[in-house]
Chain A
């Protein structure tokens, strides 16, 4: 094992410091500044956070919405990313501009605009509506990340697959998807995390289906300890997804 360099250690500390404070805060029943450590440890924050009936359903809603959004985003983004990544468009600039739009417009505005449509389509407040709204925000990220994987190399491999006797489905399973795996992992991770952390869009489209950020926010300011506890919960899948993605990117198969 090589010893980690000073830069790595410094970066680690920089990332860990706020998170460590969060952990301490979550289990600090009494913690007055300027003391470095709490005066009394305890699980009061946990009780407060889960006192209402919101937290667990919100966690489930967030997980479900994130998973559904990620899956749909990958399927929808695939053909678009392929066309853009293989530079098949003569004038890609307007398309990239359009793709950037949802990133430029505040999510809450997108959410409010969508609500008007969703009301008329009858999907407002439903899980499907929530996924649709998240897709609007997530898709640009998915397309932009996925397109970097496509190009002459993948095409060359697929052509080789054809010549080697692989049918279309076999090429997809044995050639394209495995060769794209690092890109797919990155795109899936970012898609999930963008959906997972949506606040404005979710609040606008489906206040009846609260997701974790929606439940979390009222606690901030009101009860820092409960907020910290929910934040840890909020952080967990993100950390897990990150670890899974790093593994998928590294794995040599």
Chain B
């Protein structure tokens, strides 16, 4: 990668199956965009390789010869050209005549829900509409691979839903191999058939979205997707001792281990033996986020928006054994530390 500018990628191994929709998620600065740019040929690859359908791309295939289309975070439309001429730009490069270009652009505009807008100027379109034009332009090149870099970020929140659905529909109808990049966890889950998490230039887990949320490969993965609690300790006879007074039932063999649980899997239960103090209660519209503390243990949970609990009060908490996920490979780490 270019020195100084882009973050360095290390040992990235990302596969996007043909005709599938993969999402690469990660915090900003993790190297997601760098990876996308390397695939598109906009960033130089020093080591490693980029392959499309078994063909090497990283050596000697300039970006404009790759059958790879990109939808950027910003629509990047030509301000001086009509909407349909923006869409048909890849066809112009291919030497297609104007009439055919505009006819094809018209069809694509219809597909992205902008029928009848062909002859209009780009100016005056909303952010969401501009991004639809950008999507139509990307499709116009009939790519073998479609890359979308944070396609929903610059769009109004209330327009994101329909654009997201459009992306999914277009990808599905065309069986188009697609890689979407986003930093938004919920968006990633909604868009992905396969979800890959990138942290500090590495892909740390790649699976179905549900897996990453509920069966994270490491504590770091769990932290990224928002964990309700991380429990470390030693299991004796199927019980994990949280402290001298309380133990909760867990699954799996005895010995040191780490568990995580989703915030929405934790529930309030007045009768539960596990007691914790309410440190924070934030109304978030669809739910109330509670932060609880019990000694060293910090718990985050989502409860119904009607719930009212006092800061500083003590509540009973239920951590269902079947929702606790024992992180594989973290056992040794714990034992080494204890």
Chains A and B belong together in one complex: yes
Listed in ascending order, the chain A residues whose CB lies under 8 Å from chain B are: 156-157, 159-167, 170, 174-175, 178-179, 181, 252-253
Complex interface: stretch among B86-94, B226-234, B236-244, B249-257 = B86-94
Type the 1/0 row for B31-57, where 1 means its CB is closer than 8 Å to any CB of A. Answer: 000000000111000000000000000
Interface residues of B in 34-83 (CB under 8 A from A): 40-42, 62-65, 68-70, 72, 74, 76, 78-81
Query: Min CB distance, A206 to chain B, in Å?
Result: 39
Chain A residues within an 8 Å CB radius of B81: 178, 253
A163 touches which of B40, B74, B78, B92 (Cβ 8 Å): B40
Query: Min CB distance, B156 to chain A, in Å?
Result: 20
Query: Min CB distance, B62 to chain A, in Å?
Result: 8
Chain A residues within an 8 Å CB radius of B79: 179
Does B78 contact A162, Cβ atoms closer than 8 Å?
Answer: no
Query: Min CB distance, B36 to chain A, in Å?
Result: 10
- The answer to whether residues A163 and B93 also contact, given A175-B78, A178-B78 and a CB cut-off of 8 A, is no
Does A160 contact B94, Cβ atoms closer than 8 Å?
Answer: no
Does A167 contact B63, Cβ atoms closer than 8 Å?
Answer: no
Interface residues of B in 85-104 (CB under 8 A from A): 89-90, 92-94
CA distance A251 to B217 in the complex (A): 57
Query: Min CB distance, B123 to chain A, in Å?
Result: 8
Query: Min CB distance, B71 to chain A, in Å?
Result: 9
CA distance A181 to B81 in the complex (A): 12
Q: Within 8 Å of chain A (Cβ to Cβ): is B262? A: no
Does B89 contact A164, Cβ atoms closer than 8 Å?
Answer: yes
Does B78 contact A164, Cβ atoms closer than 8 Å?
Answer: no
Majority secondary structure, A binding face: helix
| Residue on B nearest A162 in the bound complex, by CB | B63
- The answer to whether residues A163 and B69 also contact, given A174-B92, A252-B80 and a CB cut-off of 8 A, is yes
CA distance A160 to B80 in the complex (A): 15
Number of interface residues of B (CB under 8 A): 26
Does A166 contact B93, Cβ atoms closer than 8 Å?
Answer: yes
Does A162 contact B41, Cβ atoms closer than 8 Å?
Answer: yes
A174 touches which of B42, B68, B89, B123 (Cβ 8 Å): B89
Does A162 contact B64, Cβ atoms closer than 8 Å?
Answer: yes
Q: Within 8 Å of chain A (Cβ to Cβ): is B141? A: yes
Q: Within 8 Å of chain A (Cβ to Cβ): is B121? A: yes
Does A179 contact B78, Cβ atoms closer than 8 Å?
Answer: yes
Q: Within 8 Å of chain A (Cβ to Cβ): is B137? A: yes
A157 touches which of B42, B63, B76, B123 (Cβ 8 Å): B76
Nearest 5 Cβ contacts at the A-B interface: A163-B70, A160-B76, A165-B93, A253-B80, A162-B63
Most buried by B among A157, A160, A253: A160
Interface residues of B in 139-157 (CB under 8 A from A): 141
Most buried by B among A163, A166, A178: A163
Query: Min CB distance, A180 to chain B, in Å?
Result: 10
- The answer to whether residues A160 and B72 also contact, given A167-B93, A252-B121 and a CB cut-off of 8 A, is yes
| Residue on A nearest B79 in the bound complex, by CB | A179
Query: Min CB distance, A25 to chain B, in Å?
Result: 43
CA distance A157 to B89 in the complex (A): 12
CA distance A160 to B72 in the complex (A): 8
| Residue on B nearest A160 in the bound complex, by CB | B76
| Residue on A nearest B69 in the bound complex, by CB | A163
CA distance A214 to B321 in the complex (A): 96
CA distance A156 to B37 in the complex (A): 12
- The answer to whether residues A164 and B80 also contact, given A156-B74, A159-B42 and a CB cut-off of 8 A, is no
